[in-house]
Amino acid sequence: MSESGPDAEAKRDHAGPSTVPDEHSTSESGPETEAKRDHAAPSTVPDEHSTSESGPETEAKHDQVEPSLGPDPHSTGGPGRPASDPSREHNAGDAVLPEVEYGPDAKIVAVVVTHKRRDLLAESLKAVATQSRAVDHLIVIDNGNEAEVAELVADQPIETTYLGSAHNLGGAGGFALGMLHALSLGADWVWLADDDGRPEGPEVLATLFDCARRHELVEVSPVVCDIDEPDQLAFPLRRGVVWRRLRSELGGEDFLPGIASLFNGALISAQAVDVIGVPDLRLFVRGDEVEVHRRLVRSGLPFGTCLQTAYLHPNGAAEFKPILGGRMHTQYPDDPVKRYFTYRNRGYLMSQPGMRKLLPQEWIRFSWFFLVTRRDPAGLREWFHLRSLGRNEQFQKPE
């Protein structure tokens, strides 16, 4: 996803915030107290690698989640719908399935968010605009508001809209604006992409749409693979207690329910957007798609990952540091600006319904990482301070 932080943040080494606990953190009462507040946690929640954003540095944010494979209460097909099948076991709520358009006349609008990466964007748009199942309209949100990007968009072989923003909206705000504009154009489906990634080939959209139709999904994502080594996953994926790092390790299945890497090639229906909303502008970058994923899980609507196609993206695994012999991982961006947004937004995310049950694990992992693995008490204080900012909804950007 396109990491679209302010120019000053992206170009300079940020000294990082104070590493002392935040003065607003008086309500921070430890993981056990926080976890008890979650009275409505769903059976499927993002795992400890759930963080996201929309930029090249958003890599680490697209954290994968574990599916819940419970029985599906919505196993009866309706008129005009494909027959239901066992792969929809991930629908864990009592949500009424919306009437989604799966036919050949469905209007699919692509939304791409970019920030000062014209050459990378050109490669992304080339792949998006040449799909065998053509997109009906392309929207590009340019957080850099550059004339050369506007010209690039105008030169595409399909119908386009260029929205240059004089105010940097970040990945979260960029996708929110793009999704809302797509709905205003009458989109039945919105296909999301960023400027540093691209579909692996011309059949990606057709494959995703067919998967959504066959499994009656309101959202479907491709596998996200390393753009330089396509068999390697761009972000490690946990299946049970085993971490998968290669696409070939995912097996020959067609569909993985209850897991979605949003924004990296995700195809989402207008009806799903009506229910779960658009990304939260306040998050800016890192964690925005995880927050949308949280809402998608809690909605009870059917979604998942199509294992038969891929979206190529720079590898984001380097930020995930193994602990406890590799049985767990902890996210630690080396860049202080990325660390600021990652930990601040994690603090907010972990305070939300459906995520609080992960708090005890969160405290154990980060305490172990900073105190045992890194022997870095100051790092733990920084983590605590930043998560306190997010938990208290203090969304100011770093200076």
This prediction has a pTM of 0.76
Would the pLDDT of 90 be above 70?
Answer: no
Residue 241 confidence (pLDDT): 57
Give CA–CA dist 270/338, Å, rounded.
Answer: 31
Q: Tell me the per-residue pLDDT of 211-256, one tens digit each, with 9 for 90 and over.
A: 999 999 999 999 999 999 998 898 877 666 566 788 888 877 889 9
CA distance 201 to 128: 9
pLDDT at 21: 35
User: What is the separation, in whole angstroms, between the first and last Cα of the chain?
Assistant: 23
Query: What percent of the chain is predicted at pLDDT more than 90?
Result: 61
Tens-digit pLDDT profile for residues 347-395: 999 999 888 888 998 999 999 999 999 999 999 999 999 999 999 999 9
> Span 110-114, mean pLDDT?
99
What is the tens place of the pLDDT at every residue in 259-277?
898 999 999 999 999 999 9
- CA 114 – CA 163 distance, rounded (Å): 11
Pairing status of strand 219-226 against strand 198-199: unpaired
285 neighbors 213 (Cβ within 8 angstroms): no
Q: Which residue has the tokens 């993985």?
A: 256
Q: How many CA atoms lie within 13 A of 32 on its CB side?
A: 0
Kindly list the structural domains of the chain, giving each domain's residue range(s) and its CATH number in brackets, ordered by start. Answer: 7-44+319-391 (no CATH), 86-316 (3.90.550.60)
Burial grade of 257 (CB within 10 A; 0-12, 13-18, 19 or more): buried
